[in-house]
Structure 1
Amino acid sequence: MNRRPNIPPLNIPPPSSVETCPSDNSPLTDNEDTAREESLIQCLLSQIDENSVSEIIAYQKKCLERLEKTNAMLENCQHISETRLASSARDIATGRAKIVEIKTDLEHIIRKIGIIKRTLKEKYPEQYKISEEMFKRGDEE
């Protein structure tokens, strides 16, 4: 498609005697206007190379096929993405529910440990004080 056919420049024929406007600047009649348009159309059509038009149409068809294939691949990719998104959304919802359950379990365990500590501190204050000191020394080392 890089080669340009050797097309001669556009040669518009001079207006015929029928197309000439009168000197009083009156508008053209319908027949004169139509004849002028026909002349221009014929001139433009003579400038068109049929081989170039065929090449352009073939190239457009090839581009259309490529675009259709690309569109099909994009639709397939979108379908796969939607499937994976739905699967990931389910996995995230399940994981979130497990995390919330673990959090409530840990909060319950922490409350129980606090209750046990207070109970031991009330029942055995001396031993509790000794164990706290031992625990503090273990942290310092």
Structure 2
Amino acid sequence: MSATSDRLTDDSTESIQRQSSDKCTKSGDTFIHLVSNLVEDNHVMTINDSQINMLSRFEKTNEMLVNCNALAVIRFESANRDLKRYTQQLVDLQKDLDSVFHRIKFLKLKLTQQYSQAFKDCGNVFNPFNEEEEEINEDLKDLSIN
């Protein structure tokens, strides 16, 4: 008996569920039908066409932005390489100039030691160390003004 009562309970539960889903489907269909009657078909088609048009425009814009981004990456890499190369050149030039200035300073010292009498005689007219100090001071003043 219990097996029969279980079957009856299962059958009744299934029939209630079917009736309720049929009612939901019917009420859902009714709702959709009522809403579709409120909106005219030509308005829906106009909205759909406008959305398709906007989608194609967005896709074209997106493609152009992707191309622009790719070009920007290529130019950035090129500019970055150039910047590194120019920076290295400037560092090398600075080293070379420092070397030249040190050589000049060494030569001035050597000449001063070898020809000290000549430098003493010309001391009032030309003193390489005083002139060099004046140039450095003028350069520092120019830098501080700018």
TM-score range, shorter chain: 0.5 to 0.7
TM-score (norm 1): 0.67
Task: Give the length in aligned residue pairs.
Answer: 111
Q: For residue 52 of structure 1, what is the amino acid of its counterpart? A: H
**Residue aligned with 2:125, SS:** helix
TM-score (norm 2): 0.65
Q: For residue 106 of structure 2, what is the amino acid of its counterpart? A: I
Once the two structures are aligned, what percentage of the paired residues are identical?
A: 26
Structure 2 residue 86 is the aligned partner of structure 1 residue 95: yes
Of structures 1 and 2, the one with the larger relative CO (CA 8 A, separation 6+) is 1
Partner of 1:118: 109
**Residue aligned with 1:133, SS:** coil
Q: How is 1:1-141 mapped onto 2 (pairs within 5 angstroms)?
A: 30=20, 34-135=25-126
Q: Deviations over 1:92-125 (max 9, x none)?
A: 1111111111111111111111211111111111
Gaps of 5+ in 1: 1-28
Which protein has the bigger helix share?
2
**Residue aligned with 1:135, SS:** coil
CA distance in 1, matches of 2:101, 2:114: 20
Gaps of 5+ in 2: 1-18, 135-146
Q: CA RMSD in A?
A: 2.4
Shift of the alpha carbon at 1:36? Answer: 4.0
